[in-house]
Amino acid sequence: MLRKIALIALPGVAPFEFGVICEVFGIDRSDMDGPKFDFSIATAEPGAVRTSLGYDMVITQDLSVVAEADLIAVPAHTIGLPVDPRVLQAVRAAEARGAWVLSVCSGAFVLGEAGLLDGRRSTTHWMHAAQLASEFPNTEVDPDVLFVDDRKVVTGAGTAAGIDAALHIVRKELGAAAANVIARRMVVPPQRDGGQSQYISSPVAECQSDSFAAVAEWMLENLGEDLTIDQLSRRALMSPRTFARRFRSEMGTTPAAWLNRQRLNHAQQLLERSDRGLESIAADSGFGTAAVMRHHFVKTLQTTPTAYRRLFGERALA
């Protein structure tokens, strides 16, 4: 269970990426039926830590708080600055005991230096991807995704993609409802898959134009229907080809992939919050049958609807 979170602040830490981790894991959202984490910020030498913008943050806790954390987070920092060997050891120990390890943007270089990326896929901000691949040739760097989860080592791309990576971990550990509470409070989309492109026009908002916002809202309200590209493009007053191209540009993925993810998200919430049968949930979510829904759960979430309900259903959490 994801309970204890430790953020490691390095010299040259980037305030935005630092703040992303604090925002996702450091705020008590139990008043909205969301999670409350035991959240700590640590550094190798407690005291003033210089940020990438030239001002200092005072960090009072040392790395001892990392020892029992369920998740270790390393936000972006200035590439090229030396990393304290105690930080590298703390990160290695966390991975060895099965804890989640998360990096945001250039934080991946710390994971690489610790050896955690060897034999794993990884990502970072596209501007740093070539350097990461050059310095750590034993990792397969994918510069065109929002985040990569490879056996509980999660590397996020630049800036806002850190939110997606962090919410991904919350969703894997605590379920879709918990991740959605956090996303709602942060006013960000509750689900952007790691495989979506870094090169999207609007990295935080779901879409820029009013026409796409209206179509996306309509899609969410009609998940149970058989929605086709022709039908969606007519609502957007575009040709099917233009709609598909614009949708991918603004949403970071294809209409079919986005719709499938929303159907999964809806089914997850129904499994968590209701005792409805699988056939009823499948129909309401747009999968048609329980067998088709099961196929998509196994393919995308690596679990079955029944196992998911057993893990995250209200009675399991009571």
Local mean pLDDT, 10-residue blocks, the chain (318 residues): 96 96 96 94 98 97 96 97 97 98 98 98 94 96 91 91 93 91 80 53 42 81 92 92 87 86 91 94 96 93 90 64
Give residue 274's domain range. Answer: 257-317
The answer on 40 and 157 residing in a single domain is yes
**Do 24 and 169 fall within a single domain?**
yes
Asked if residue 13 belongs to a domain, the reply is: yes
Number of domains forming the structure of the chain = 3
| Residue 201 falls inside a structural domain | no
State both tokens at 301.
């979430």
Q: In this structure, are 38 and 96 located in the same domain?
A: yes
Place of tokens 């600055």: 81
Do 232 and 110 lie in one domain? The reply is no
| One domain, residues 38 and 119 | yes
CATH code (residue 280): 1.10.10.60
φ and ψ of 152, to 5 deg: 70, 5
Q: Report if pTM > 0.85.
A: no
Give the CATH number, domain containing residue 182.
Answer: 3.40.50.880
86 falls within a domain: yes
- Other CB atoms within 10 A of residue 217 CB: 12
Residues 265 and 247 in one domain: no
Q: Give the pLDDT confidence score for residue 88 in this predicted structure.
A: 98
19, 268, 276, 305 from 298: Cα distances, Å? 34, 13, 20, 8
Per-residue pLDDT at 317: 45
Last residue of a domain, one of 252, 277, 303: 252
